[in-house]
Amino acid sequence: MTLRAAVLGHPISHSKSPALHRAAYAHLGVDIAYSAIDVTEAALPDFMRQVRDEVRADGSWRGLSVTMPLKSAMVAEVDEVRGVGRVLGVVNTVAFESDGGSAGHTRLVAYNTDVAGIVNALRHAGAASAPTAVILGGGGTAAAAVAALKELGAVSAAVFVRDVSRAAEARAAADAVGVPVRVLPLAGAAAAVAAADVVISTLPPRAADALAGELAEELEANPSSALPAHGSPGVLLDVAYDPWPSRIAAVWQEAGGTVVPGLEMLIYQAVEQVRHFTGLGEALPAGVTDVMCDAVGAPRRVF
C-alpha cells in the first residue's frame, strides 16, 4: 500500500515542500506519496474530517505539513499537540501515530518544527546568539520566531507589523516563552532593523519591499550609527523564498550583512517532519539532508 503525506495551505502551488519530501522518501526507499493540497482556513474542518475517515478506512496517511493560513487553526483539528507547539498554540506538522491498535485508533499528533528550522538556519549562518532582535510580521511563523529567539538567548524583541491590532499570535508566543516584545507599526522600522543583530522577516513575498527602500535610505544616510556595535548589518532570515532574492535581502546583502534565505529554514524544518512521518526520529540518516538540499538547489550541509 502506498502511504500518503501532503502539505496544506492557501495558496500552495508555490510550495517547495513536495520536492524536499519526495527526495527524502526516495532516498530512504519509503513508499510515501507526498502532494500539495490547497485548503483554506474555512475548509479545514471538513478536510480533516475526510482525512480521519480515510485513516479509519485504510490507515494510509502518515503526515501533514501545515503552512499559512492554517498553523493556528490546525490545533483544534488534532488529538494532541506536543512540545513547543503546545506552548505556542501554533503548529506546522501533523503526524499520524498508532496507539498499537487498528487504523481506527491512530492519533493525530501535532508539532511545531518551524522553531527548530529557524534556530538551525540562523546557527548555520553563524548567528550563535541574538542580543538585539527584530521580527517582521506577527502571525504564526512570527510566533515560532519568538520561540527561536528565546533559544538563541534574546531577552526581548521588537515586532513590526502592518497592523498592530493583528499580532495576537506573536504576543501570545512572547507571553508563553517569556520574551518581552514591543509591537510596533512596520512603517518607520528601518532604523531598528538596521541596528539589530538578528532580523527575522515572516512577511509574505514583496510585503517588505517598502521597508527595503527605507532601509537602503537609512543605511546610506547613517552608515555607522545605524548599524550594530560590530559595524555591519547582522543576520537577516527572510522566510519568503519566492521570488529570490527579495528586495530586503538584496539591500541587506549589499550593505555587507549576512542573508539567510527562507529555503534554509524550510529545509531544516522539513527534515524534522521527515523524522516524524517515517517514524525514524533521531535514526534518520544524515544523507537525507543532502538529497533534500539537492532537490531545491541548496548547498549541502550536515546537522
Per-residue pLDDT at 218 exceeds 70: yes
How confident is the prediction for the chain on average, in pLDDT? 92
Confidence at 76, pLDDT banded by 50, 70, 90: very high
| Catalytic residue check, 16 | no
SS3 201: strand
Strand partners, 29: none
Section 285-296 average pLDDT: 95
Section 276-289 average pLDDT: 94
**Cis ω before 245 (30° cut-off from 0):** yes
Residue 12 corresponds to which cell in the numbers above? 500552495
Catalytic site residue from 62, 71, 150, 247: 71
In the prediction, which pLDDT does 193 show? 95
In the prediction, which pLDDT does 293 show? 96
Confidence at 17, pLDDT banded by 50, 70, 90: very high
CA distances (Å), 171 to each of 81, 112, 130, 138, 175, in order? 20, 17, 19, 8, 6
